[in-house]
Structure 1
Amino acid sequence: MIDQEINLPPANFEELYENAVDISSRMAAQNLIIAGPENRAIMEAVDQAYQDGLIMPYLVGDREEILKIVEELNLNLDNYKIFNAVEASSKSLKSVELLTTEGDILMKGLISTSTILSTFLDTGKELLKRETLSHLILADIPILDRLIFISDGGMNISPDFQAKKAIISNAIEVAKNFGWEKPKVALLAAVEKVNQNMPETVEIERIISEFDECMIGARLDGPFALDLAISKEAAEIKGVNSPVAGEADILITPEIVSGNLLGKSSIYFGGGKIAALLGGVVKPVSIPSRAADKETRLASIAAAVIQGSRYNE
């Protein structure tokens, strides 16, 4: 448990990492389970986080391959724990088992997200907060003055009404772990008005009518086109008066295609960086791309550490 208030939410990934270091200076380092760490960028990020006092590393993977990378990087593994597992399914199973028994947080390494998810659903049900799990991106985009969440661009293909409500709830809960006391949630569509020919706008209207702002501790509004959700100027020009318009903390997309495109465009068009998190679980799970670089991995670890500190309060 930390003994003083966390100064959150952070404005960018640099502040995110600084906050994680500050938190870790006031509590024990958290046990990080890495499922499939046989990669230089992963090991460099893990060792940096370990050296900065954020985590105690649990490496679950091919011991021989891990030791080759360790030798190349000249790392000291004195306080590391290694669990030998060669097949992806074995890595996932052992990682979820360790998270259940002694781990604080888990990060996906060189195994697929689908493999991790299958393991959670098959053997890690005690780690689930709700039946619908969801993929959240925490994006640091230079053009914005804040971090922003995007969901769901990596898991639920075409969520029905109940799944969409769970995705929203997952995102709100995760955002609160980072210090957003009352996050502003924009439900995205192509237009800002309900149109019977656009089923997603009709669904958004129903979702908003069923969510109680006082109960969920968040502000929901929509439908919003993307510009209205993130640009105050666009909202003013179009005459949209909403506490969410232009100031959204969370963007909820209609389905996986738009969510995936939005998340990746924040990198390749927006010059940003992203960390990926799993929503709907009782312990933090970081699910960055297998191709993620060291900086992205560090941001993912920092995000999980901050979440973990909240869960341990």
Structure 2
Amino acid sequence: MHLVNRTFAELRIGDTAEIRRLITPDDLYSFAAVSGNFNPMHLPDHDGDGDGRADNVAPGMFLASLFSAVLGTRLPGPGTLYRHQTLAFHDRAHAGDEVICRVEVTDKTADGSVTLSTRLHRIGDDALLLDGAAVVTAPQRKFERNDIEVPGLIVERHRHFDALIDRARALPAIPTAVVCPDDENALGGALRAAEESIITPILIGRADAIRATAAAMGETLEGIEIVDIAGDAEAAAEACRLVHAGRAAAVMKGHLHTDDLLRPMLDKATGLRIGRRLTHVFVMDVPGRPEPVFVTDAAINIAPDLETKMDIVQNAIDLATGIGMEARVGVLSAVETVNPAIQSSIDAALLSKMAERGQITGGAVDGPLAMDNAVDIGAARTKGLRGNVAGRANILVVPGIDAGNMLAKQLSFISHAEGAGLVLGAKVPVILNSRSDSAASRLASCAIAALHDAHRAAEAKR
């Protein structure tokens, strides 16, 4: 940022400066986090006055801080220090409003202080929102630099999941076999998704344990079907039977090992396989990214060969299409050129060619790509990579489970992403959450499963 000030000697009565600012929902969240003011009147999508509508009112002191921005960067500029400020609030601004903040020099005194009028208007109707007067100590020395930088802020909102959940609410609730929901995380996730009308849960497992968990949570299971079956493997097999009977359109993992959940699904006679390998996709809502990021496979296939990677890629493309995304698959390796000594680079090149020849359909596939030039357009252009995927990949296909697990957890614990998990390649989507997943993550997994199921049903009718 280029900054230049006006010294006390340079200032004249009548000098003016202004800035414009579009107020965004992220501004409201950021101000709440910095100030500690969590008044729901000032938080996006919250109803603070009980009238049934979100208020989205910009805090008055946030608006007043715009005066400080003009004084500190424009007039007088760098070196300015506040001495006094009066404020009068005339009207409210909301997220989505654009405002203009103007200051004007009205007085100078020999002690180096300067008085400026301060006014804030809403652009559009020119309504006066805020006015007052500022008294500042003006800078005595000239300042001009163009290398002033401050760290960027990322608001930890998961807007992509919010949008997917909103879309899923509009669909009929998907009947879901919830296997062994006998701990609070598993049962709580299913009940919350039911409250949001995203799933209709069928609880399978030890009925006494499920009811005891609900009682400990203060929840009622009235109206929810419970299938009383002892044993994890038996409960998972019952979920498969409900799918074959047409009573369940999704399966959800509860409090059991993933192997015990998936083993009955692989049975040739009674399982749920439909010709492809079962593969896992993490759908990650990463703050600051323009769309969700898929990581696959990070949970099932340990060291996938080329044939398995074909199914990994195709399943991920189908899921992306099912939730309304343009599928751009970056097949990851340590390098972005084919190296005969690195098997993942060879597999990536072959998968790219397979997509080019129609053996993988529905999305663009490119590889090998290193992580940087898969997701950063600048890094891709530096390496001379062109096309629709390099720098813009939204599906990241990892060489093996080690890399996938590390990448997904890095996004969660360093980049503050929420992750939804689905197993694909079965007759119905399988919602696969870990014990540590948040309620928001479990709800998003259900929403993605519902959207994917609705898309598949629509495609089958065509």
Normalized against structure 1, the TM-score is what?
0.90
Q: Tell me, in whole angstroms, the C-alpha distance in 2 between the residues paired with 1:245 and 1:213.
A: 19
* 1:161 equivalenced with 2:300 (yes/no): no
Instruction: Look up the SS of the partner of 2:281 in the other structure.
Output: strand
2:375 corresponds in structure 1 to 230
Aligned pair partner of 1:44 in 181, 188, 199: 188
Per-residue CA deviations over 1:157-215 (Å, capped at 9, x if unaligned) read 111111111111111111111112x4110000011111122122122222222224666
Q: Tell me, in whole angstroms, the C-alpha distance in 2 between the residues paired with 1:111 and 1:41.
A: 12
**Alpha-carbon shift at residue 46 of structure 1 (Å):** 1.9
1:143–1:270 contact (8 Å) kept in structure 2? no
Q: Tell me, in whole angstroms, the C-alpha distance in 1 between the residues paired with 2:271 and 2:185.
A: 31
Instruction: Look up the SS of the partner of 2:334 in the other structure.
Output: coil
**Alpha-carbon shift at residue 11 of structure 1 (Å):** 5.8
Q: How do residues 99-248 of structure 1 correspond to structure 2 at under 5 angstroms?
A: 99-101=243-245, 102-122=247-267, 127-180=272-325, 182-212=326-356, 216-248=361-393
2:297–2:312 contact (8 Å) kept in structure 1? yes
Q: In 2 relative to 1, CA 124–178 (structure 1 residues): closer, same or farther, beyond 3 Å?
A: farther
Letter aligned with residue 412 of structure 2: I
Q: Tell me, in whole angstroms, the C-alpha distance in 1 between the residues paired with 2:159 and 2:338.
A: 33
2:274–2:425 contact (8 Å) kept in structure 1? yes
Per-residue CA deviations over 1:22-51 (Å, capped at 9, x if unaligned) read 2x2xx3x22111111112222222222222
Q: In 2 relative to 1, CA 87–257 (structure 1 residues): closer, same or farther, beyond 3 Å?
A: same
Aligned pair partner of 1:270 in 398, 415, 421: 415
1:280 corresponds in structure 2 to 425
**Alpha-carbon shift at residue 230 of structure 1 (Å):** 0.9
**Alpha-carbon shift at residue 125 of structure 1 (Å):** 5.3
Query: Structure 2 stretches of 5 or more lacking a match?
Result: 1-157
2:351–2:367 contact (8 Å) kept in structure 1? no
194-203 vs 148-157, which moves further: 194-203
Instruction: Look up the SS of the partner of 1:119 in the other structure.
Output: helix
Q: Tell me, in whole angstroms, the C-alpha distance in 2 between the residues paired with 1:254 and 1:124.
A: 31
Q: Tell me, in whole angstroms, the C-alpha distance in 2 between the residues paired with 1:176 and 1:124.
A: 30
Q: Tell me, in whole angstroms, the C-alpha distance in 2 between the residues paired with 1:161 and 1:57.
A: 37
RMSD value, Cα: 1.9
1:278–1:287 contact (8 Å) kept in structure 2? yes
Instruction: Look up the SS of the partner of 2:380 in the other structure.
Output: helix
Instruction: Look up the SS of the partner of 2:176 in the other structure.
Output: strand
2:211–2:221 contact (8 Å) kept in structure 1? no
Instruction: Look up the SS of the partner of 2:267 in the other structure.
Output: helix
Q: Tell me, in whole angstroms, the C-alpha distance in 1 between the residues paired with 2:379 and 2:175.
A: 44
120-129 vs 269-278, which moves further: 120-129
- Quick one: percent identity of the two aligned structures? 27
Letter aligned with residue 16 of structure 1: L
**How many residue pairs end up in the alignment?**
299
2:66 corresponds in structure 1 to none
Return the index of the structure with the highest Cα Rg. 2
**Alpha-carbon shift at residue 123 of structure 1 (Å):** 5.8
2:209 corresponds in structure 1 to 65
Instruction: Look up the SS of the partner of 2:274 in the other structure.
Output: coil
2:186–2:253 contact (8 Å) kept in structure 1? no
The structure in which a higher percent of residues are strand is: 2
2:327–2:364 contact (8 Å) kept in structure 1? yes
* 1:75 equivalenced with 2:219 (yes/no): yes
2:12 corresponds in structure 1 to none
Q: In 2 relative to 1, CA 11–213 (structure 1 residues): closer, same or farther, beyond 3 Å?
A: farther
Q: In 2 relative to 1, CA 290–270 (structure 1 residues): closer, same or farther, beyond 3 Å?
A: same
218-227 vs 139-148, which moves further: 139-148
1:3 corresponds in structure 2 to none
Q: Tell me, in whole angstroms, the C-alpha distance in 2 between the residues paired with 1:126 and 1:88.
A: 15
190-199 vs 230-239, which moves further: 230-239
Q: Tell me, in whole angstroms, the C-alpha distance in 1 between the residues paired with 2:370 and 2:225.
A: 48
Normalized against structure 2, the TM-score is what?
0.62
**Alpha-carbon shift at residue 143 of structure 1 (Å):** 3.2
**Alpha-carbon shift at residue 124 of structure 1 (Å):** 6.5
**Alpha-carbon shift at residue 131 of structure 1 (Å):** 3.8
* 1:260 equivalenced with 2:405 (yes/no): yes
Q: Tell me, in whole angstroms, the C-alpha distance in 2 between the residues paired with 1:18 and 1:81.
A: 25
Per-residue CA deviations over 1:246-269 (Å, capped at 9, x if unaligned) read 111211111111111111111112
Higher relative contact order (CA 8 A, sep 6+): 1
Q: Tell me, in whole angstroms, the C-alpha distance in 1 between the residues paired with 2:309 and 2:270.
A: 21
1:292 corresponds in structure 2 to 437
Moved over 3 A (4+): 123-126, 212-215
2:242 corresponds in structure 1 to 98
Instruction: Look up the SS of the partner of 2:295 in the other structure.
Output: strand
1:11–1:147 contact (8 Å) kept in structure 2? no
Q: Tell me, in whole angstroms, the C-alpha distance in 1 between the residues paired with 2:169 and 2:357.
A: 33
Instruction: Look up the SS of the partner of 1:296 in the other structure.
Output: helix
Per-residue CA deviations over 1:231-290 (Å, capped at 9, x if unaligned) read 112112332212101111211111111111111111112111111111212211111113
**Alpha-carbon shift at residue 126 of structure 1 (Å):** 5.8
Query: Structure 1 stretches of 5 or more lacking a match?
Result: 1-9
